[in-house]
Amino acid sequence: MIGKEIETTAALSLYQVLDRVAAPIFIQDRHARVVFVNRALVARSRYTASQLLENARIFSAELREVEDVFTRETDITQAGYLYDADGKAQAVSVVKSIVRDANGTPFIVATIEDPIRQSDVKPTEIQQEIQERKAAEAALLRSRRRLTLLVQQSPFMFVEWNIDYTIQTWNAMAENVFGYPRSKVVGRSIREVLPELAVGEILDQVQPFVTQLGAIQQIQAHGTQTKIICDWYHYPLLAPNGNIVSIVSMGIDMTDRIRSETERQQAEVALVESEQRLSMLVQHAPMGIIEWTPEFTAKEWNPAAEKIFKIARDRAIGEHGNHWVPEQDQAKVNEIVKTLFECQGEIHSINQNLRGDGETIVCEWYNNQILDTEGNIIGVVSMVRDISDRIRLEADREQAELALKQSEAQLRQQAQKLESAFKQLQKTQAQLIQNEKMSSLGQLVAGIAHEINNPVSFIYGNVEHAKEYIEDLLRIIQLYQTDHPVPSEQITEELEDLDLEFVRHDLMKLLDSMGTGAERIRDIVRSLRHFSRHDEADLKAVDLHEGIESALMLLQHLLKSNRACGSPLLRPTIQIVKDYGALPKVQCYAGLLNQVFINVFSNAIDAINERWLAEEIDFTPEIKVKTSLFQQLDSTEWARISITDNGIGMTATTQRCLFDPFFTTKPVGQGSGLGLSVSYQIVTEQHGGRLSCDRPSKRGATFVIEIPVRQLMWS
């Protein structure tokens, strides 16, 4: 009856089906816990469903036993007692069967039956028939249940179809393999679902075996969602009269097994090919390949090893490895071999070896272990090559490299000396050129100043006497006019033409102008003599401010307003802003230092003219001169002269090369590139000072001259 109800309510879940069964049923899991009871058991025990699930001791110990059922996985009948809510013990017989859920988890379905009581009174024939019928129905029920479970839980596919090819049975494994649910397959033609099965041929083959109950085997590929290969056994179901009721096709999915077999065969072929290739690689390898046993004897010896060690394979096989190692290296080699057979990992070594003819060579070895399937070391394989020639070449190369390095060092040293000598030559050349130039210029300036000084002194000294004489003459003329108020006609005409009164007033102004001009010439001569210092000793304490003023006096014509460098715009006068500090007299070469001032001021004026020439007319040309006194860390006093202009400025590259000999940014013919270079040498080398240039912004530059107040090294 249970089997029939399961078949008629396939759409319901197992619990829903069992809950409607008239027989008392409960379900146990692997741990003997009751996980389900149906309504018939609740009615019989007079407990609620929750009480039955919580208290497994309602059943006697015999009925709670599950291990034997799970172990045997066959139906088992157990006898025991059911303790109802009234406290009565009901003797029952329980039939337990194994079922599995969708995940394959096994459970026990237990059906409670009343045991047949033996009465003292002999049953009647009717009662006997009833009891026999009930027993037969129960046996049939159990048989159907077992058959249903067998088909549904079988690892084989069961497909039952009748003579007109309509599918009647489609178990869970068939659903699993082909992906078609039972509800969509039952009732359809097998030709639609599994067209690959040769249905007509099967019927033809089944018919002769009807009486012998034989079976037909068939291996068939099915092109469903994925290609599947199945092994089928077809056999008929016969009615009692011998007629065929239906055909049962029992199959198993062989796809994985065939694929594995194919892969195994392919792997075996690949292994054979790999072994052949490996053998060819070993035999044709350019490096010697040697296999060693755990006793360090040669087991394999390829042709390259024969060539390296000059010994044939048949003579080398079985020979101990120390046979090819010099006595002094055997301890080292034996230690390497010991390590190889004790610890996994590659070992690289270079050592001396002996050939068959006794010649000593140097070999490079790459050693690694040979492991079995369990990871145990069963041998060592070594790759070896003769590097004697390479060692000799490397030694020769190292010697050549050492000689080359020594030669390069000598060349670098010579190059440094040449470079230093060249720079010194440049400096000396520049210094000589400038010294000669300045010496000639100084002598010329001194000579001109001397030649001009005499007549100018004569003029300047006689202007006052001339004024006195002229005043005396004018006074005599006035007295004569007083004594002779009416001159002759000729004198009157001459006086009118001469305009004596104008001459009397203008003559004195003329003499004053001549005196002023002579004084100006005398100042210029003084500046020229101060600049050249031709009449002074080389090293002398002087007032630096006088040297600055003399330089500005000589450059006055460049500071005045003019059309700089041919610019159509008139450049304003360059303003000189002086900020003089209290400086003592400084020991220096006055003439050389004046040359530095001239060069720096000239450079500032050129920078301002270049900015004006670039039509940057929205600035006031200006040169700031600042002097100050400061102390070094050793407490020595130094004088600092800062000269700042607001000219065109310079690039970083120009700033780095500013004091190099012959470097100039001016066009050819307008600059020699010696002014700042010579100035740098005068300040640094001849005065022990510093000359630097700073770029405070995009426009302008500041030159800073720093020299010690006392030149101690010459004092």
Greater pLDDT, 103 or 381: 381
Greater pLDDT, 33 or 442: 33
Q: What is the pLDDT of residue 403?
A: 86
Q: For the segment 118-128, what is each residue's pLDDT rounded down to a tens digit?
A: 444 444 555 56
Half-sphere exposure of 219 (CA within 13 A, CB side): 5
Strand partners, 554: none
Q: For the segment 604-613, what is each residue's pLDDT rounded down to a tens digit?
A: 998 888 888 8
Q: 8 pLDDT band (50/70/90 cuts)? A: very low
Q: For the segment 492-534, what is each residue's pLDDT rounded down to a tens digit?
A: 787 777 777 777 777 777 877 777 777 767 667 666 666 555 4
Residue 67 pLDDT > 60, yes or no? yes
Q: What is the pLDDT of residue 626?
A: 95
Q: For the segment 400-419, what is each residue's pLDDT rounded down to a tens digit?
A: 888 888 888 888 888 888 88
Q: For the segment 214-247, what is each residue's pLDDT rounded down to a tens digit?
A: 566 667 677 666 778 888 888 777 765 667 777 8
**Closest by CA position to 35, among listed 77, 66, 1, 80:** 66
Residue 706 pLDDT > 90, yes or no? yes
Q: What is the mean pLDDT of residues 1-16?
A: 40
Residue 455 pLDDT > 80, yes or no? no
Greater pLDDT, 711 or 1: 711
Q: What is the pLDDT of residue 600?
A: 92
Q: What is the pLDDT of residue 211?
A: 46
Strand partners, 639: 629, 707
**Closest by CA position to 340, among listed 358, 321, 317:** 321
Q: 202 pLDDT band (50/70/90 cuts)? A: low
Greater pLDDT, 212 or 355: 355
Alpha-carbon distance of 347 to 363, in angstroms, equals 14
In this predicted structure, which of 80-84, 289-293, 503-507 has the lowest mean pLDDT?
503-507
Residue 33 pLDDT > 60, yes or no? yes
Q: What is the pLDDT of residue 692?
A: 92
In the numeric block, which tokens belong to residue 53? Answer: 């699930």
Q: For the segment 307-354, what is each residue's pLDDT rounded down to a tens digit?
A: 988 889 889 899 998 888 998 888 888 888 888 888 777 888 888 899
Alpha-carbon distance of 507 to 510, in angstroms, equals 5
Alpha-carbon distance of 178 to 197, in angstroms, equals 14
Phi then psi dihedrals of residue 602, to 5 deg: -60, -40
Q: What is the pLDDT of residue 505?
A: 77
Greater pLDDT, 155 or 707: 707
Say which residues have a Cβ less than 8 Å from residue 494's Cβ, sequence separation at least 6. Answer: none
* C-beta atoms surrounding 291 within 10 Å: 17
Residue 206 pLDDT > 50, yes or no? yes
Q: What is the mean pLDDT of residues 292-320?
A: 89
Q: What is the pLDDT of residue 137?
A: 64
Q: What is the pLDDT of residue 433?
A: 59
Note whether 688 and 711 are within 8 A (CB): yes
Residue 12 pLDDT > 60, yes or no? no
Residue 639 pLDDT > 90, yes or no? yes
Average pLDDT taken over every residue of the chain = 79
Q: What is the mean pLDDT of residues 11-18?
A: 59
Q: What is the pLDDT of residue 440?
A: 52
Residue 29 pLDDT > 80, yes or no? yes
The amino acid sitting at 268 is E
Q: 689 pLDDT band (50/70/90 cuts)? A: very high
Greater pLDDT, 326 or 477: 326
In the numeric block, which tokens belong to residue 4? Answer: 């029939």
Q: What is the pLDDT of residue 630?
A: 93
Burial of 604 (0-12, 13-18, 19+ CB in 10 A): buried
Note whether 618 and 580 are within 8 A (CB): no
Say which residues have a Cβ less than 8 Å from residue 363's Cβ, sequence separation at least 6. Answer: 308, 350, 351, 352, 353, 384, 385, 386, 387
Q: 491 pLDDT band (50/70/90 cuts)? A: confident
Q: Are strands 575-579 and 622-631 parallel, antiparallel or unpaired?
A: parallel
Q: 708 pLDDT band (50/70/90 cuts)? A: very high
Greater pLDDT, 354 or 614: 354
